[in-house]
Amino acid sequence: MPYLLIKHEVADFDHWKTMYDKHKSARDHADLHELHLFQNTYNHNEVIVLFEAKSEGKVLEFMESKDLEQAMKGAGVLGTPEMRILREVS
């Protein structure tokens, strides 16, 4: 099962969180299930989110979508977010 890890810095965490919550339907459409939402202890505007995904294809589609790009811009994401598709190994 694939996972999606997103790390980015935002201008204002509270604004970002509000916009993130409003974008949930897009994550649902991509079959992404939020496992963890982290906020850096020393830089509250650094955010890391880990999602479980059902399909790598849907993850790639989500990552490359204009909708995500617009949502991140509107949420105040600074710079280029780090996005990684991960697989669990045993």
The pair phi, psi for residue 58, each rounded to 5°, is -70, -35
Looking at the structure of the chain, the number of domains it has is 1
For the segment 60-81, what is each residue's pLDDT rounded down to a tens digit?
999 999 999 999 999 999 999 9
pLDDT at residue 90, rounded to an integer: 86
Range of the domain at 38: 2-87
| Residue 32, token pair as written in the block | 């992404």
Q: What is the mean pLDDT of the chain?
A: 96
What is the band of 59 on the pLDDT scale with cuts at 50, 70, 90? very high
With 0-12 CB in 10 A as exposed, 13-18 as middle and 19+ as buried, what is 50? middle
| Distance separating alpha carbons of residues 23 and 30, to the nearest angstrom | 11
Q: What pTM was computed for the model?
A: 0.93
For the segment 3-14, what is each residue's pLDDT rounded down to a tens digit?
999 999 999 999
**Tokens 């204009």, residue located:** 66
Residue 13: in which H helix or E strand, if any? helix 13-22
What CATH code is carried by the domain that includes residue 28?
A: 3.30.70.100
